[in-house]
Amino acid sequence: MKTRIPVLLIALTVAGCAPYVNIPPQAGDLANHNPNNRNVLNVESKAVRAVAEDFGLAEPFAVEPLADTTAHNHLTLMPRIGELATAENVEGLATISVRKVYIRGAKANVSMVYTPARAEEGRRFVTVDLRREAFRGWTANLVKAWRFEVERALIDPETNSAVVVNP
């Protein structure tokens, strides 16, 4: 009985501290919706870095964080993402725009729109699945550039996020 109490307390502590984030918010949820939350910023930076690596970006690119991210936090994301990331959205640069972040404990999913420097290449809807690992933090498991252009996705006006139609 004496060993059950500490084990139970540890289990409740770990379970109670697991992050639960929905950005944008979903109706009736109890999740955190703060884009300036430490976990959100960590997940966001790792996901953008994974997309930049997956697309082989060798030139500077602009990063548009989640809506309502403070200017200070937007700037602090850049060194975490990499040397080529810039907070300034300059015409002619590729852009990675973060649209959604969902975190469930040690798993996360980030939805983004990638706009290449050359407009004729077309924008792409990209999702990144991440996992939090002991001693390593958040790591990207899967980067998926969907086989349809963003224009072929239905943009939900309430959440400003893409919903797949006609993939």
Q: What is the pLDDT of residues 4-58, one digit of tens each?
A: 555 444 444 444 467 899 998 888 888 999 999 999 999 999 999 999 999 999 9
Q: Is residue 120 part of a domain?
A: yes
Distance CA 151, CA 7 (A): 51
Q: Is residue 14 part of a domain?
A: no
Q: Is residue 45 part of a domain?
A: yes
Q: What is the pLDDT of residues 87-120, one digit of tens each?
A: 998 889 999 999 999 999 999 999 999 999 987 8
Residue 62 structural domain? 19-163
Identify the sign of the CA torsion 117, 119, 122, 125: positive
Residues pairing with 32 in the sheet: 21
Overall pTM surpassing 0.85 (yes/no): no
Q: What is the pLDDT of residues 65-76, one digit of tens each?
A: 999 999 999 999
Size (the chain), residues: 167
The total number of structural domains that make up the chain: 1
Domain of 73, CATH number, reads 3.10.450.630
Q: Is residue 13 part of a domain?
A: no
Q: Is residue 133 part of a domain?
A: yes
Q: Is residue 62 part of a domain?
A: yes
pLDDT at residue 26 in the model: 80
